Structure 1
Amino acid sequence: MTKIKEIHMDNYTYLDNVFSFEGAVSVEENNEYCAPWRIDFKEKELFPVLKDKVGKFCSGVRLCFTTNAQYIALQMAEIDEDTLILDVFVEGAFNQQIKISDTSPIALEGLREGTKQIEIWLTQNQTFKLKKLFINKGAKISKTLDYRKRWIHYGSSISQSNAATSPSKTWAAMTAQKLNLNLTNLGFSGECVFDPMVGMKMRDLEADYITLKLGINTYPGLQTERMFAPNVIGIIKSIRERHPYTPLAIISPIYCEAREIEKGACGLSLTEMRVSLEQIVNIFKSYGDRNIFYISGLEILNEESKQHLPDGLHPDADAQYIMSDNFTNKVFSRMAGTL
C-alpha cells in the first residue's frame, strides 16, 4: 500500500459535498466522522431496535465520487469491530479490494490516470465511520451523477448476506450490478418484521423497483398469526401512497427444511406464509394493482440447494450466486415489462 505521507494530498470530509453514500437512507455527520445509515439518523429514536445495530450496518452502501486523482486514500475515525473489507470499482468494473484494520490512512493502489467514477462497496455487516478522504494535491473530485434506475429491497439477514465473501458479492449487490441498478438494501439481520416506519421510509424514497422478501424473521414469534397478514398489507399500503405504479414484488421465504411444515412461535409454517403472501398479492390485484407480483421464495433458493444452507437457514457464499441469478431471472424478468 502506498503511504500517503509520500505524496502531497488534499483531504475532504462529507461537509465538502464532493462524495456521496449511495444505498444509504441518511448520513450521520459530526466533527469527527461521517457514517451512512440505512434508517433515518435524525429520527433514529423512531426506529427501535434497528437504531442499535443493523440500521448502522452498510449492506449495499457505496462510497461514490468522480475524480481525476491517481492517488486516493481513506482514513477511518474508528473501527467498531473486525477488519473492514471494501470492494473498489472503477467505471463499473472491479478494480481492487482493500482491508482496513486501524485508523491509519489506507491508499487505493494502481489507479489509472484520467477522470473516472469510483464506487466503493462497504462491509455489509459493519458500520463505516469515515474521517477523511484524500486525493493527490490539485486533482479534482465531485459527486457522481447517477442516472441508474433505483431499486429498494427489504428483507432479513438472508438479504443482508453476512456470509458473502465481500460486500459486492452479496446476492443483492450482484443482481444490481448485472442489471445496472442503484441499490438500497434494507436487509436487516433478524429484524424484518414489517416495522411501520420502514414501510413509511420506503414510501418516501425514490424507487423504480421495490422488492420485499418477507416472513422468515416472523417465524420465531416476532410476529403473530393474527397480525401477519394485516401488517404485510399495511406496509404495502404505505409504499403505495407515493409509489402507486412502481413495480412491487413480494417474495416469500426461501427453503428452510426445519420450518417448512413445522409451525413457529408465530403460529405459521413457511408453507403457510407462502400461501398467505400470495393471497395478499391477489387481493391487491383484485383491487386494480397491476404492478404487484408474488414470487415464491422456492424459486429463489429451493430444496435442491439445501447443501448451501450450512445452518439450515442462512445461504452460504456460493448460494449468493444462485440467488442472484434466480432473482434476476424470476423477479426482475416479471417486473421489467411494467416500465
Structure 2
Amino acid sequence: MQDEIRWYSPKEKPFRISGFAWFNKEERYRRLPAKPVYDIPPRVDELADNTSGGQICFRTNATKLEIKVKLTDAANMGHMTASGQCGFDVYVGDPGKQQYYATAIPSLLEQSYEKTIWDFSSRSQHITEQFREVTLNFPLYQGVEEVLIGTNSSAIIEPPTPYDSDKRVIFYGTSITQGACASRPGMSYTNILSRRMNLEFINLGFSGSGRGEHGVALTIREIERPACFVLDYEANVTYKEYKDTLIPFIETYREYHPDVPIIIVSRIPFVQDKAIGEYEDYQNRREYSKSTVEKLQQQGDKNISFIDGANLLGELWHECTVDGIHPNDLGFMEMANRMENEFVFLRNLK
C-alpha cells in the first residue's frame, strides 16, 4: 500500500520563505509591497509579482517529495526556457555544499502543474531514513499564486539551518539581474551567489524597467537589515538617463543607510556593441560608473565600490549569451565566479 501524500503550505513553519522583503507583513510571493507607498512605474509594479530570488528551505527525511504550483501565467518568452520562466528547481545539501538535484518543469501553455521531485520508497533503508536539507528556487519570470509541498505522510519536516546573519543582500537592476535567460531558476547569478553564502538574497531585477526612478529608490531603502546593496541597472537606461539618476539614487539610499556597503556594477559587454558602432557609448557608461564611485570615495564614502562588468563574462564572453545580451547558464556562472570575491566580507557577518 502506497503512503498517502500530505500537502503543506510553505508559508507555515517550519518552512522558511526568503527573498521577499515584505513577506512577513503580507505573506505574498511578491518582491515589492502590494500597495507601494511611493510612486513606482506600473511595469515595475507588475514585474514585482515575478518571483525571482524567492526560496523555500527546510530539512526532511521524506522518501517522496512533490510540488504543486499555480502560476499567474504560462511561459510566454521565445528566448527563455519554460523551466526558467515558470519552474522550480531543487538543491540538496547544507549551506555552501548544495548540489542541484531536479527541476519541476511545467508543460507549455499551462499555468498549473504537479511534479514529483524524488521518490525513494523502493530504495534501501539507508536512503529512506536520511535527512536532507532542501532549497527550492522560485520561478524567475512568472508570478506564483500558490505552491504546496507534498511528502509521504510519515515524513518529518524540520527548519533549515539558520542564516549566519539576519542581514539581507539586495540587488537592483535589469532583466539580467532578474535572471534572463537562465535555463532554470538556480542558474541566475544571484541564486548562484546565494548558494555560496548562508544569507538571504533579495532580487529586485525588473526586466527592461529598472531605471533608477526616485520612487523605486524610496521603496528599496525601506528594506530593513541590508548587508549590502548592489546597483546594476545601467543597461536599462540611456547614458544621459544614467548620469541623471545614479548619484541621486545613491544619495536617496544613503539617507537611510549611511554605512551599508554599496556596490556599483557596470553592465556586461553586449555582443553587438562593436558591430553596430556603440562601443564608445559602452565605454562612456562604464567609465561613468567607475568615476562616480571614485568621486564618492574621495568625498568620504568608504563603503562604496565598483565591479567592472567588462570582465565578468571572461574570455568566452561572446559565447555567454542567448541573444547577444542576456546570459545563458555559462554566462551567469562566469558572472558569479568573478563577482564572488567582491562579497567575501559577507562571510564575517553575524
Could you say which TM-score interval applies, normalised by the shorter chain? 0.7 to 0.9
Equivalent position to 1:295, from 307, 325, 328: 307
- Call closer, same or farther: CA 1:263–1:88 in 2, change over 3 Å: closer
Deviation (angstroms), 1:337: 9.7
Partner residue of 1:74? Answer: 67
Give the AA of the match of 2:222: D
2:160 alignment counterpart: 144
Residue 70 of structure 2 aligns to a residue in which SS?
A: strand
8 Å Cα contact 1:28/1:37 also seen in 2: no
Q: CA deviation at 1:186?
A: 1.3
- SS of the residue corresponding to residue 117 of structure 1 reads strand
Which structure's relative contact order is higher, taking Cα pairs within 8 Å and 6+ residues apart? 2
Q: Structure 1 residue 63 and structure 2 residue 56: aligned?
A: yes
Paired residues for 1:88-127 under 5 Å:
88-91=90-93, 92-101=98-107, 103=112, 105-110=114-119, 112-127=128-143
1:289 deviates by 1.2
Q: CA deviation at 1:167?
A: 0.8
In the TM superposition, 1:207-246 aligns within 5 A as: 207-219=226-238, 225=240, 227-246=241-260
What whole-Å deviation, never above 9, does each CA across 1:88-139 have from its counterpart, x for those lacking one? 1223332322223454543321465354432101221222222533333354
Counterpart-to-counterpart distance in 2, 1:308 and 1:172: 16
The percent identity for this pair of structures is 23
Q: Are 2:339 and 1:332 equivalent residues in the alignment?
A: no
**How far 1:68 sits from its partner (Å)?**
4.0
Matched AA of 1:287: Q
TM-score (norm 1): 0.80
**Structure 1 position 318, deviation (Å):** 1.8
Query: Structure 2: how far apart are the matches of 1:63 and 1:46?
Result: 30
Counterpart of 2:22? 26
Pairing of 1:126-275 with structure 2 (within 5 A): 126-141=142-157, 143-144=159-160, 146-149=162-165, 150-205=168-223, 206-219=225-238, 225=240, 227-256=241-270, 258-259=272-273, 269-275=281-287
CA contact 1:212–1:250 (8 Å) conserved in 2 = yes
Aligned residue identity for 2:59: T
Q: Say whether residues 1:8 and 2:4 are aligned partners.
A: yes
Q: Is the 8 A contact 1:85 1:98 kept in 2?
A: yes
1:306 has 2:318 as partner? yes
Please give the TM-score of this superposition, normalised by the length of structure 2.
Answer: 0.78
Alignment size in residue pairs: 322
Q: Distance in 2 between matches of 1:270 and 1:45?
A: 32
Residue 74 of structure 1 contacts residue 105 of structure 1 at CA under 8 Å; is this kept in 2? yes
Q: Go from structure 1 to structure 2 and tell me whether the alpha carbon gap of 1:255 and 1:107 turns closer, same or farther (over 3 Å shift).
A: same
